[in-house]
Structure 1
């Protein structure tokens, strides 16, 4: 009877040493910026706030005319309920063309075309040519 032992095979030593590769990240290079959902909302909110502020500061809602009224030719009228530009123009200058008087009121007060008159607003109205 004979006993045999399994012996592991030993590989022949290689002539070249094993090469391992290591990658290094540069210390000075910043990591890429990644925004979360909350960060995106914050960036958009700040952008909208800046745009809104610029629109308010540089956008003019009321534009005055370059024409200075001649002393005594313009009066002020407070808008009462039920009054229209047509009725105000007819009261101010009954002998003149009402359409031209309405146009002058719109230009003097920088009113938007077709916008309703706010009750209690003070309007400049021409009384003579």
Structure 2
């Protein structure tokens, strides 16, 4: 077995070298380090996290409406029975002859919770706003 001696020959005595021992470790070179690469699953996770963050922001900071405790005044209405051949347009024109018929039709549809203007059924009674 062979050995190599460096520096002084005092290293042969057990108490001669009292300096702490340094251990070397490899440090990666920053110039040759590879960039982070995401797998397909990793990309899906990052995308879903971004979508969740945007959705949360929309819910938290989006516009909202608040219902108050006090009720507003109910509009004055009258009840009209739908006869054969009647259309919502004709009923609105009779109820508000000097106003905008389209707005009157929209008000009647909202007031009666109709899905659309053609949802009238013969013989039904609907509420119609009273105009002056």
Q: Which has the higher contact order (CA 8 A, sep 6+)?
A: 1
TM-score range, shorter chain: 0.3 to 0.5
TM-score (structure 1 length as normaliser): 0.43
TM-score (structure 2 length as normaliser): 0.42
